[in-house]
Amino acid sequence: MTELQFHPIHGRLEEILTSLMHTREVAAHPSLAYTIRLVSEEIIANIIKYAYSQDSEAYLSLYLCDDNGAISIEFRDGGIPFNPLDKAEPDISLPPEQREIGGLGIFLVREMMDDVTYIYQDRENRLKITKKYA
């Protein structure tokens, strides 16, 4: 298991993504790199933008595990409690100009990952994504 800690996080999206992509777990599976980066970028960008006020003590912890034919990444932050899985899926049958704003990011995460879970525990948002490779 690899653990990455970032504090503060504002303005550090690329640095966080670069660190994530260079972990043993991700580097061992280059065929999953694009998917993991895209999904992780969506999640991290939303944490940076919405979880904290600009003057807060913002942090982000990532826990990566490569086990049983899958890579799992758990994103932990101490920001405002928010379960993105409670958000209704967007109606993608509508033309873009008729859709409600928001929700496409978590839709993308759900579509591209094999499993996505959320819990609020110990005053942290914990969003875990899993992608099978076997």
Q: Could you read off the pLDDT of 74-109 as tens digits, one per residue?
A: 999 999 999 998 977 766 766 767 667 666 778 899
* Statement: the pTM of the whole predicted model exceeds 0.85: yes
d(CA 54, CA 20): 23
d(CA 15, CA 106): 22
Widest CA span in the chain: 43
Residue 65: pLDDT over 70: yes
Rg of the chain (C-alpha set): 15
d(CA 117, CA 115): 7
Higher pLDDT, 51 or 89: 51
Residue 59: pLDDT over 70: yes
Domains of the chain by residue range: 2-132
Q: Please name the fold of domain 2-132.
A: Heat Shock Protein 90 (3.30.565)
